[in-house]
Amino acid sequence: MRLLLLTLFALIPAALPAVEFFVSPSGNDDQPGTEIQPFASLEKARDAIRSLHQKSPDEVATVWLMTGVHQRKTTFDLTSADTLTTYRAKELGKAVLNAAIVVPTSAWKPVPTDSPRLDPAARGKVFQLSLDLLGVKHDKPFPDRFNDGGGLFDLYYGGEKQQISRWPNTLDTKMVRVLDKGIWSGQPKDKRGGVFEYAGDRPLRWKTASDAGQLWVAGFWRVPWDFQSVRVKTLDTEKRTISMAEPVTLGIGSKYAGPEGAGNEPWHALNLLEEIDIPGEWSVDFTTRTLYFWPPAELTGASIAISDLETSMVRMKDSSSITLRALSIEGGLGDGVEISGGKDCVVAGCRISRVGRNAVVLKEGLHHQALSNDLTILGHGGVIVSGGDRKTLTPCGHVVDNNHISNYALAKLNYSPGIGVGFSPTGMFAVGCRITHNRIHDSPHAGILYGGNDNLFELNEVYDVVKKTFDMGAFYTTHEWISGGNILRHNFVHHAPEATGFYLDDGDSGDLVEGNIAYRVGCGPFIGGGHDNIAKGNLSVDCGRGAHLDTRGVARGYDKDKALYKGLESIDAKSPTWSIRFPNLATIFGGKPELPTGSAIESTVAVNCESVLHFSGKKEELAAATLQNNFELTIEDMGFFNAAKLDFRMKPDAPVFAKVPGFKPIPFERIGLYTNELRPTVQERSPEFTTLKSPKWTTGKTKPNPIPKGK
């Protein structure tokens, strides 16, 4: 595997090219583009290479970006006219493409201390500026309902994303009770927002904003994986009620607590001047187009910026053999790098941060790669991948390797993964992608979302995810019979107590989950009613459950599920392409689609878990699956090198290999990031994490205890 990836990496143009151009922040486009007389813009260098290729189409070119900030106001666009070119930093990581608007210190004016809307703690500390003076475009009112940043710009101080004002400041408050779920049958006359009763008198201070139609509340109104912000139509401070201007999906009130909710659903208010009460908070008055901000430190000499460019920073459409190498890309409100169509394009050794959507998008095309990048402070996800032909199972061959992805899903909390590969509910598919050696952490929701076919997920590390939601996996896929051939092998998931490690949800079928390690998560492999899912040789340590299997297809009527059958009808299951690879699809799982036919949990090892296996369903229904050689062992049986320091290498003579038939060594030393030319060092794993509560699904009577210190 490593040899193959190094071979792929070697394809990146690295030798001295026949043609070189130079671009500098202090350059001039009237110059020849040499190192001594560089261009000022990427567009000038691009156009020079296009002219070159008209005469010499096979000429390889390199554009060197000199050290400094290359300020961008528009997307850098590459098309089918662009090929055989590397855009790279002269010094590793020191050429910065930045689209953010720099806010001068002189633009800020103090808010009068007698302003009636200011919190007492904020008086004399809040400043304001006119967004018109800066030419900011994304300062329009929020939509009545949204699930991301609502189209508003991002604000940064010293490179750190600042928090739009909210109450409460960190955690959520809880409603008292649901008075009206709200409804929308699809007819305008039936469209009615929900109504709930709140506790306390804090909303008394929001009356001015509410009367102006500028009060929004946000929360998990029904299920813990659907976060939505909604404008308030009416705030009644006498009755302590809030009426929403729009209905939310399926109405407000917890799905798990009856039709009207439990009265403890989480929510908070946002973007209120009155709620700027700690340093770092800010809000926008949409009527006057004024930004209010309590800076976390002195304004004098501070670096303050606004991300306002909604399109991608770099966009390639039908380009071929284009490489971005060792660049820093930041300050956009859209995606960092978007590659669609074309072939053999590479993003390597780049740092992409402070973007409002995804860091890298690889969409369709062939053999695109994201290699050894650092991706952080992201509004949506890290690397989003799609492509290939599902009907013919023709692979796209995209590779995502050795990327460090962290602190993402800051604006869109749900379904913004560290890596997303053909996740079907989003309308994407992917065939034949390789996702290897990535480190993914620090997110409210999923680590890796996947779907499609024949994708390999190997030697990845995922931790500290599913921090604000639940019923989600570090690896997660859902609800497709035809999503077969995906392999999850030799991955390490840890310190995510609300997460399932490897979650094959609601009928998803045809995956292999082999030789993975789950530590301090809710469950290891989880087979939710699907077919032909094989989980074997997996290790769960300090988890709620070692592995799980259920027969939900009986209760949920998989034999009549329109969505599952629609997916099946989208391919020709009886053609050799499919029938040889997935023969059970042609017979619709032997006429028993409601049962987990062909699925198996084998050679599972559980150490200090509440249960080795967990089941849901009748015994005769579970008999459709195979369960064998699953054991609970002690930590001594495992022969770990040093589990207390997250070193789960196993000694060759460990008892586990004799006690558990079919359990094979897991190459723990190869999991995660590795060093190369673009990643000279890799930070060691730390055994200490702040998220150390017991994993989900423990009863409280026999909770897993932390593994003992090594002797």
pLDDT digits (tens, 9 = 90+) for 227-283: 999 999 999 999 999 999 999 988 899 888 766 777 888 999 999 999 999 999 999
Parent domain of 279: 101-165+274-305
Q: Is a pLDDT exceeding 80 seen at residue 189?
A: no
Contact 68, 26 (CB under 8 A): yes
What's the number of domains the chain is made of? Answer: 3
- Tell me, yes or no, whether 289 and 187 share the same domain: no
In this predicted structure, the answer to whether residue 621 has a pLDDT above a threshold of 90 is yes
Mean pLDDT of the region 419-440:
92
CB within 8 Å of 600: residues ≥ 6 apart? 533, 534, 535, 536, 625, 626, 627, 628
- Do residues 191 and 294 both lie within one domain? no
Using pLDDT thresholds of 50, 70 and 90, give the confidence band for residue 701: low
Report yes or no on 323 lying in a domain: no
CA pair distance 516, 525, nearest whole angstrom? 9
Task: Flag whether 432 is in a domain.
Answer: yes
The answer, yes or no, to whether residue 587 has pLDDT greater than 80, is: yes
User: Is residue 7 over pLDDT 60?
Assistant: no
- Each residue's pLDDT tens digit, 550-562: 999 999 999 999 9
Residue 257 confidence (pLDDT): 79
Whether 34 maps to a domain, the answer reads no
pLDDT of residue 18: 73
176 class by beta-carbon count within 10 Å (0-12 exposed, 13-18 middle, 19+ buried): middle
Residue 670 sits in the same domain as residue 525: yes
Regarding whether 471 and 600 lie in a shared domain, the answer is: yes
Vertex 493: Cα angle to 4 and 452 (nearest 5): 60
- Mean per-residue pLDDT over the chain, rounded: 92
Domain boundary among 270, 287, 314: 270
In a domain, 580, yes or no: no
251 with 388, same domain: the answer is: no
Closest CA to 665 of 632, 639, 690, 691: 639
How sure is the predictor about 427, in pLDDT bands with cuts at 50, 70 and 90? confident
pLDDT tier at 120 (50, 70, 90 boundaries)?
very high
Considering the domain architecture, whether residues 481 and 455 belong to the same structural domain is answered as: yes
199 domain residue, yes or no = yes
- Examine the domain organization and report whether 525 and 491 are in the same domain: yes
Q: Are residues 469 and 387 in the same domain?
A: yes
Instruction: Please check whether residue 93 lies inside any domain of the structure.
Output: no
Model confidence band, residue 1 (pLDDT cutoffs 50, 70, 90) = very low
Same domain, 377 and 240: no
Q: What is the pLDDT of residues 434-457, one digit of tens each?
A: 999 999 999 999 999 999 999 999
Domain match, 296 and 429 both: no
Please check whether residues 418 and 466 belong to one and the same domain.
Answer: yes
**pLDDT for res 710:** 32
Q: Do 616 and 527 share a structural domain?
A: yes
Integer Cα distance of 45 and 78 in angstroms: 12
pTM score over 0.85: yes
Q: Let me know if residue 127 belongs to a domain.
A: yes
pLDDT bin (cut points 50, 70, 90) of residue 185 is low
pLDDT, tens digit, for every residue of 474-518? Answer: 999 999 999 999 999 999 999 999 999 999 999 999 999 999 999
Exposure b/e, 234-253, CB count within 10 A at least 16 = b = ebebeebbbbbbbbbeebbb
